[in-house]
Amino acid sequence: MTATLLAASILVGCGESGQSASSGQVAVKVNGTEISIHQLNHVLGSSGNIPPAELESVRKQALERLVDQELLAAKAVEEKLDRSPKTLLAIEQARREILARAYMEQVLAAAGPLQRTDISRYYYQNPELFAERKLYNLEELSFPVSELAFADVQAQVGQGATLESLQAQIEQKGGKVRRHTGATPAEKLPLAFIKEVHQAKVGDIVVLHDTRDISVLRVLATQTQPVSEADAAPAIQQYLMNKRVAELQAKQLKPLRDQAKIEYLGSFAAQAGTAAVQPEKAANGG
């Protein structure tokens, strides 16, 4: 049984203290503890689309899992595991995640659903991912940014440097590089550099980077493999939803952080205000 399930059962138990569901709302009683139809439906709701022919079987399986969880949870309480520091920490973390997710679900619902026009607009604004999508055969040289500065690499490539000369330069200083050759679809490239790679011709060298590594790519071959709007729509929708969630969360957190009293202590005090920057992933299967 996961900590999240245990926390959820505790939250439900606290919310229904002193109350008993009517027999029509109860799916099963386990040693007198009621498991409601609402709880069962909540579990089923997280199972995705269930074919109608399988619904009854899935409902029975889900109910039996809830029974098993209740039996194990009761045994854990009997052995006072609900009071152990490890369990209490897990419950508190799960509670925090559940409540934070509930709040963001409310914010997202208020923002309204994505429109079909949003998906279509993204499709046509990014032909290199969809209508003009390519499969690239690339030779890659990658190394940490500490080995060579990005601007220096760009300048050298602009003056005719090759993957081999860059590798030799780094290895002469005792540095380490990685070499790889293989096929890479457009959606697996960093989103910020897709347009540049898309415009590259066979033989061209393109320099990519993030906060940790630099990748120098030589285009060996390309093959056009377009994706229709209909086929791309689910991935675009998921990408736009993830983007919307991130933007809404940032919008909600800014005033909360501004108004909150946040005190970093010990070694964390020196790290206050720093945050890892995650590179943006492409929509089409990234």
Same domain membership, residue 81 and residue 63: yes
- Give the model's pLDDT for residue 49: 82
Amino acid occupying residue 140: E
Domain boundary among the residues 203, 224, 245 is at: 224
- Give the model's pLDDT for residue 254: 96
Same domain membership, residue 211 and residue 178: yes
Q: Mean pLDDT over residues 220-231, rounded? A: 97
Same domain membership, residue 147 and residue 24: no
To the nearest whole number, what is the mean pLDDT of the chain? 88
Q: Mean pLDDT over residues 224-249, rounded? A: 96
Which residue range is the domain that position 249 belongs to? 113-127+230-254+277-286
Q: Mean pLDDT over residues 153-164, rounded? A: 94
For residue 101, which of 248, 236, 286 has the smallest C-alpha distance? 248
Q: Mean pLDDT over residues 68-72, rounded? A: 96
β-bridge pairing 134-144 and 178-185: antiparallel
Our count of domains for the chain comes to: 3
User: Does residue 261 belong to any structural domain of this protein?
Assistant: no
Same domain membership, residue 236 and residue 117: yes
Q: Which residue has the higher pLDDT, 270 or 161?
A: 161
Same domain membership, residue 216 and residue 243: no
Q: Alpha-carbon distance 188 to 184, whole Å?
A: 6
Same domain membership, residue 11 and residue 94: yes
Q: What percent of the chain has pLDDT over 90?
A: 77
Lowest-pLDDT choice from 51-55, 96-100, 200-204: 51-55
Same domain membership, residue 7 and residue 123: no
- What CATH number is attached to the domain comprising 219? 3.10.50.40
Lowest-pLDDT choice from 51-60, 215-224, 271-280: 271-280
DSSP 131: T
User: Does residue 270 belong to any structural domain of this protein?
Assistant: no
pLDDT at 201 over 80: yes
> For the whole model, what pTM was predicted?
0.70
User: Does residue 269 belong to any structural domain of this protein?
Assistant: no
